Amino acid sequence: MTSTFPDRGTVRSRRALVAGSVGNFIEWYEFGVYGYFATIIAARFFTPEGGSEVEALVKTYASFALAFFFRPVGAAVFGRLGDRIGRRPVLILVIALMTGATTLIGVLPTYDTVGALAPWLLTFLRVLQGLSAGGEFGGAVSVMTEFAPPGRRGLYGSWQSFTVALGLLGGAGAAALLATVLTERQLGDWGWRLPFLLTLPLGLGALWLRLRLDETPAFREEREAERPAGRAVAGAIALGAGRIMGWAAAGYTFLVVLPSYLQATLDASFQQALIATVLANLGFAMTIVPAGWLSDRVGRRPVMLAGAALVVVLAVPLLDLLQDPGVSLTVKGAAVWGAGAVVGLMAGPGPAMLAELFPTNVRYTGLGLAYALSNAVFSGCAGLIITETVERTGNADIPAYYAAATCAVSVLALATVSRTSVRKPTSEVDEATKASGEAE
């Protein structure tokens, strides 16, 4: 008689999926909130008397970028630990660090209270967030893909990206709700703190889930093995970063930087900018899991190539459409939804593609560094580059050029992806990786 209850392997796989996903949600919820409240944070922490709003916004994005540049450090430090002592204990550590740093942002004194100390305190907490975020991705994706059944790594890995979308949507929803129920003065005085403080109960829940997580079977099998990373892994890190640079740049351009861009360049209201961002993130969220599922059947390359190529072709027309006062709000809303959906085609298969580049003994470090380096350069700097370049040139199409150029490079890097490992068990992927230096 066949049991109607899920077997132990299925339960462990689903538990790993939830425990791995929840940290990503919190991480990107916070980064989304920081981006959505960038103009308010600029005014509270980076604008002494006599300073311009644009200068303050640039400094805010510089702090934003700094956190991203500490991600590779976190990926290297926590990744090495995760490859030596296990995925579970390191994932517990990074979620505790992220929760503490984010919660403290919600109680920081502002420039009016402590003067020049305020931006330094904020920057220090951003550094801690960057370190923890750098250790989050590699461990979460390792857990999801190492517990995934054969032929379903794309689907399981896509949940990392899906919870990124949920986190950004959660941040946008919190910001939109506060902007609706609070006055502009209340929002600026204390309302912006509430989404950061909400991280505390969310983080405690995530910590409880990770305490119940098992170590992955793949790591247990490799525990005694001592294989050097070597040049092949270093090359795989560079190749992986190139493959996802378009995802990183276009994702942050369309999903996070958009609100401040619409306000500063196109004179949109705070509420209009948030609505546009929610629509973009909805499009992003709706295509991620289907794209991961599809990549398990047709391969990572065609799905991710389609997303990158569409950004190259459509980025400039999209920005021109948003700038056209004769276009209806409905059409503009559909356009930003479509922009997010295209990014989801890259984000869905991306985690599995990176995981399949590295064997178990260096997977946490390798895929974490590839992701962190790409995001440090092409996501963390997106707001800073776009804001400063638009200010200097007066060209409102700069965000489109930025997204299109990075996706063009990714098209070239993605052309090297093979389809050999899509349906292989993890152990077979590792053997292929050790033999050829790359498995996808």
DSSP conformational letter for 268: -
Count Cβ neighbours within 10 Å for each residue of 272-308 and write b for 16 or more, e otherwise: bbbbbbbbbbbbbbbbbbebbbbbbeebbbebbbebb
pLDDT digits (tens, 9 = 90+) for 44-63: 887 665 455 666 666 666 76
- H or E element, residue 71: helix 71-85
CA 257 distance to own-chain centroid: 13
pLDDT digits (tens, 9 = 90+) for 411-430: 999 998 875 555 555 555 55
pLDDT band at 305 (very low <50, low <70, confident <90, very high): very high
- Over 50: is that where the pLDDT of 150 sits? yes
273 or 126: whose pLDDT is higher?
126
pLDDT band at 116 (very low <50, low <70, confident <90, very high): confident
48 or 343: whose pLDDT is higher?
343
**CATH homologous superfamily for the domain 15-212+230-436:** MFS general substrate transporter like domains (1.20.1250.20)
Summarize the confidence of residues 20-48 as an average pLDDT: 80
231 or 239: whose pLDDT is higher?
239
Dihedral angle computed from the Cα positions of residues 139, 140, 142 and 143, in that order, rounded to the nearest 10 degrees: 110
141 or 394: whose pLDDT is higher?
141
Residues 57 and 164: their CA atoms lie apart, in Å, by: 24
Q: What's the confidence (pLDDT) of residue 439? A: 38
Cβ-based neighbour number of residue 78 at 10 Å: 27
pLDDT digits (tens, 9 = 90+) for 320-329: 888 888 888 8
Q: What's the confidence (pLDDT) of residue 438? A: 41
Summarize the confidence of residues 388-394 as an average pLDDT: 84
Percent of the chain with pLDDT over 90: 45
Q: What's the confidence (pLDDT) of residue 143? A: 94
Alpha carbon distances (Å) from 215 to 12, 78, 93, 366 = 10, 16, 15, 19
**Residue labelled with tokens 């077997």:** 7
Residues 440 and 430: their CA atoms lie apart, in Å, by: 10
The pTM (predicted TM-score) of the whole model is: 0.82
* 8 A C-beta contact, residue 133 and residue 74: yes
Q: What's the confidence (pLDDT) of residue 80? A: 94
Summarize the confidence of residues 169-198 as an average pLDDT: 88
- Over 70: is that where the pLDDT of 88 sits? yes
Q: What's the confidence (pLDDT) of residue 58? A: 67
Summarize the confidence of residues 156-160 as an average pLDDT: 94
Q: What's the confidence (pLDDT) of residue 57? A: 66
- Over 50: is that where the pLDDT of 6 sits? no
Q: What's the confidence (pLDDT) of residue 61? A: 66
Average pLDDT of the chain is 84
Q: What's the confidence (pLDDT) of residue 432? A: 45
Residues 121 and 110: their CA atoms lie apart, in Å, by: 10
pLDDT band at 338 (very low <50, low <70, confident <90, very high): very high
**Which of 2-16, 369-383, 420-434 is the least confident region?**
420-434
